[in-house]
């Protein structure tokens, strides 16, 4: 079933992000921010999210991640590489993904080849709106416009006798400059709480991405993050958590 973006009643300003200027300042002050989906809709020009049904449905056709060192079969994913300059955002030829063991002690240290994000999804209106938002925000924060971008589609599946682990490597950094994690849809799961930490692993905050377009934004050089496992609510129904992860690294 496609996730539908419905009209949302007016809500009071979120203390983490009641304007783009406030969002920028909050990240400067704390190193991270939670942005609710209703706010992201305004910033992403909702009239332009015309391909949202196709965008969200693309999570339904993803292969398993075969690089899980814990043997888990709970994660599906696709991956794409892009670049951004002052002149715009460009999809790059498909490339493998690599993280060192310093950043990913479970699955790092090997070159990982994932299925590509469908080109129509990567170049579609929703993805381009999200990437443009990230480019503008991160370029302002980092005082830089030339970026290496990676996009990851993740589906974390839970089963009655097995949790799904969004971050099986634990509390971590991604080894980039900035990270955006955007909720696409949740079905029949509980928990999946995002936790933010300083470099000494002290917890700074926690929140749960529940609605489409809910986002966590992280200054990866200043904060660490993790997500608690998701569990099935109704054993008779499929259970999963779909998110888009976008990382920006200075070139």
Instruction: Say if residue 13's pLDDT is above 60.
Output: no
Q: What is the mean pLDDT of residues 158-163?
A: 96
Instruction: Say if residue 145's pLDDT is above 50.
Output: yes
- DSSP bridge pairs for 182: 215, 244
Note the pLDDT tens digit of each residue in 76-117: 999 999 999 999 999 999 999 898 888 778 887 889 899 999
1: confidence class by pLDDT, cuts 50, 70, 90: very low
Q: Domains in the chain, ordered, with CATH? A: 20-250 (2.60.120.620)
Note the pLDDT tens digit of each residue in 217-246: 999 999 999 999 999 999 999 999 999 999
Phi/psi for 33 (5° steps) reads -160, 150
**Exposure pattern of 51-72 as b/e (b: 16+ CB <10 Å)?**
bbeebbbbbeebeebebeeeeb
Handedness of CA 243, 228, 200, 104 (dihedral sign): negative
Beta-sheet strand order (sheet of 193-197) = 203-208, 193-197, 224-227
108 vs 171, which has greater pLDDT? 171
Mean pLDDT of the chain: 91
Say whether 24 sits in a helix, a strand or coil: helix
pTM: 0.92
pLDDT for 18 equals 59
1 vs 120, which has greater pLDDT? 120
Note the pLDDT tens digit of each residue in 183-218: 999 999 999 999 999 999 999 999 999 999 999 999
Percent of the chain with pLDDT over 90: 82
Instruction: Say if residue 29's pLDDT is above 90.
Output: yes
Q: What is the mean pLDDT of residues 135-150?
A: 96
pLDDT for 146 equals 97
Instruction: Say if residue 3's pLDDT is above 60.
Output: no
């Amino acid at each position: 079933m496609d996730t539908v973006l419905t009209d949302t009643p007016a809500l009071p300003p979120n203390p983490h992000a009641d304007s783009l200027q406030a969002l920028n300042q909050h990240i400067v002050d704390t190193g991270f921010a939670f942005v609710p989906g209703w706010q992201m809709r305004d910033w992403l020009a909702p009239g332009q999210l015309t391909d949202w049904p196709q965008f969200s449905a693309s999570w339904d056709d993803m292969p398993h991640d075969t690089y899980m060192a814990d043997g888990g079969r709970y994660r599906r994913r696709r991956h794409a590489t892009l670049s951004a300059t002052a002149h715009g955002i460009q999809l790059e030829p498909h490339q493998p993904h690599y993280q060192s063991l310093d950043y990913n002690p479970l699955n790092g240290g090997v070159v990982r080849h994932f299925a590509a994000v469908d080109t129509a999804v990567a170049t579609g209106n929703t993805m381009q709106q999200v990437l443009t938002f990230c480019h503008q925000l991160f370029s302002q924060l980092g005082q830089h416009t030339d970026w290496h971008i990676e996009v990851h589609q993740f589906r974390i599946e839970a089963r009655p006798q097995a949790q799904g682990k969004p971050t099986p490597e634990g509390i971590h950094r991604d080894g980039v400059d900035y990270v955006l994690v955007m909720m696409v849809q949740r079905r029949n799961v509980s928990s999946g709480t995002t936790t933010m930490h300083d470099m000494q692993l002290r917890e700074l905050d926690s929140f749960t991405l529940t609605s489409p377009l809910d986002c966590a934004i992280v200054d990866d050089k200043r904060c660490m993050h993790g997500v608690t496992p998701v569990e099935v609510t109704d054993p008779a129904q499929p259970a999963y958590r779909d998110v888009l992860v976008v990382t920006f690294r200075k070139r």
